[in-house]
Structure 1
């Protein structure tokens, strides 16, 4: 990679750090830019044209067959570099990759969650899934959870620098605390609660994703609609089912806007079942009647 490209990466990293972007976002943006710089290795990053960027995005989508999410991430990374480092306008992401339509996520029932947890024999894997469900933490938050973040005295877990670089607390289950203690005795983690294969490093998010998908398949729940994030959605939906107010759910999940949390109202089957249809209580009409004109 040319000295100009290395300097561009360094400058981009500085701007991302100043903007207090999460470590994951910084890593993803720099990775995408690195691929771009290598692809156009004979051109200085400051001399890229719109046609060159379109050519690269087309290469990702058509030649490599990358997913829409991957291509959008590349376009967003390029946009950041142009707007903040080069101070040049860049609008390709909004033109080619518009915001996708909002769809309600899949949710597992309480029985399915229980079936999943009961089917996992490995105590480390079971503890991870139990924490995912009982705390509503994101995949990256579970992966980087440290022993010192567990506050058993106040029955809570501190989520350090979650999405948006925000700290928050979420709840700790008494039953999960017992599982955590049993896990600790066997595995004796040092810093991170779930250690990876490399000493001093946390378990990778990819490995956690893999173990969850394997566990779902073994439990007979291997549908593609269920993922690690499904467990977080299930946590939030079941809280709403049990009468937890939306503001509390919002704080536990670490949402920045209540509107994001409100979708769990739509996912709650128990709440829907408690709704009385206005047609059934029309004046002069008995619920369940089926009167027809003759």
Structure 2
């Protein structure tokens, strides 16, 4: 029996995890997805230590999901991730059918994501004195990039001649282009002269290595504290939401925003209509129209 931290993993489980990892690598799944799937499968295998992974049934995975919720108090998001990893293992590794429990995708309350006001975004950027950190946050807001995308952005993907930034293998393994702001280009040049990054636009502690996503999150957290916005629960993804919402407020059409955000379906972009306060403020109530049309 092999030990992984405090969890016991049998040789059969080790082989199953390795096979899963190999097939995910072949399918070019992202490193983060591979990490999540393998962790969830490892937990499942240690929950049934006396049963070979190939003999685990769909009913057993359902019982495990119930255990996650009732005993450990796990969220629906956690259970969805676990179920998706089981689906991959059953279908791709074992060649067996697997159906994700429909109840995981049942009706639930949808909370609108937080969005910074333009004034808040300006305050955050103005409070950052470190040129590397300010350039990083400015680039996030200027492009709407995801956390993983800016962490993996390479110097060669910034095209100052065409004023475009190529985002390679974003979510869904799709490349896309976003405009490069002329004002931001000046700041990028000053940053480059001072820091001389190698390969990745934002290097971490190691030479030529990329900035860790957690470090990027920490940069924003410190900026929010300086700006007095630490209680707003803003995140790096909030900047992405703010980018799309502010574009909509300024009159950019939904299809253009869809392309910039890298959304596969327009339905993913439509929800920003609910976040656009300027759009809501322009709406005239039918009551006002009715009253104004009343004859004296």
TM, length-normalised to structure 2: 0.87
Report how far residue 253 of structure 1 moved.
Answer: 0.5
**Which residue number in structure 2 is paired with residue 83 of structure 1?**
91
Count residues with an aligned counterpart: 287
5 Å matches for 1:179-194?
179-194=187-202
The whole-number CA distance in structure 2 between the counterparts of 1:166 and 1:144 is: 14
SS of 2:175's equivalent in the other structure is strand
Deviations 1:202-246 (A, max 9, x none): 111122112212221221111344211111111111111111111
The whole-number CA distance in structure 2 between the counterparts of 1:158 and 1:256 is: 17
Greater mean alpha carbon deviation, residues 122-131 or residues 217-226: 217-226
SS of 2:168's equivalent in the other structure is strand
Report how far residue 20 of structure 1 moved.
Answer: 4.2
Q: Contact 2:197 / 2:208 at 8 angstroms: preserved in 1?
A: no
**Which residue number in structure 2 is paired with residue 215 of structure 1?**
223
Deviations 1:59-90 (A, max 9, x none): 54455554443333122211221232223333
Report how far residue 5 of structure 1 moved.
Answer: 2.0
The whole-number CA distance in structure 2 between the counterparts of 1:31 and 1:183 is: 38
**Which residue number in structure 1 is paired with residue 38 of structure 2?**
30
The whole-number CA distance in structure 2 between the counterparts of 1:29 and 1:236 is: 30
Which of 119, 132, 147 is the matching residue for 2:140?
Answer: 132
Instruction: Could you tell me which runs of 5 or more consecutive residues in structure 2 were left unpaired when the two chains were aligned.
Output: 1-8
Report how far residue 113 of structure 1 moved.
Answer: 0.2
Which of 285, 292, 295 is the matching residue for 1:286?
Answer: 292
Greater mean alpha carbon deviation, residues 179-188 or residues 246-255: 179-188
TM, length-normalised to structure 1: 0.87
The whole-number CA distance in structure 1 between the counterparts of 2:101 and 2:199 is: 39
SS of 1:166's equivalent in the other structure is coil
**Which residue number in structure 2 is paired with residue 121 of structure 1?**
129
Q: Contact 2:245 / 2:272 at 8 angstroms: preserved in 1?
A: yes
Greater mean alpha carbon deviation, residues 60-69 or residues 186-195: 60-69
Report how far residue 22 of structure 1 moved.
Answer: 2.9
**Which residue number in structure 2 is paired with residue 197 of structure 1?**
205
**Which residue number in structure 2 is paired with residue 40 of structure 1?**
48
5 Å matches for 1:243-282?
243-282=251-290
Greater mean alpha carbon deviation, residues 196-205 or residues 179-188: 196-205
The whole-number CA distance in structure 1 between the counterparts of 2:58 and 2:36 is: 22
Report how far residue 157 of structure 1 moved.
Answer: 0.7
The whole-number CA distance in structure 2 between the counterparts of 1:2 and 1:231 is: 44
5 Å matches for 1:45-64?
45-50=53-58, 52-54=60-62, 56-58=64-66, 60-61=68-69, 64=72
The whole-number CA distance in structure 1 between the counterparts of 2:48 and 2:218 is: 34
Do the aligned partners of residues 29 and 106 (structure 1) sit closer, same or farther apart at CA in structure 2, a change above 3 Å counting?
same
Do the aligned partners of residues 82 and 219 (structure 1) sit closer, same or farther apart at CA in structure 2, a change above 3 Å counting?
same
**Which residue number in structure 2 is paired with residue 228 of structure 1?**
236
Instruction: Could you tell me which runs of 5 or more consecutive residues in structure 1 were left unpaired when the two chains were aligned.
Output: none
**Which residue number in structure 1 is paired with residue 114 of structure 2?**
106
Which of 29, 32, 40 is the matching residue for 1:21?
Answer: 29
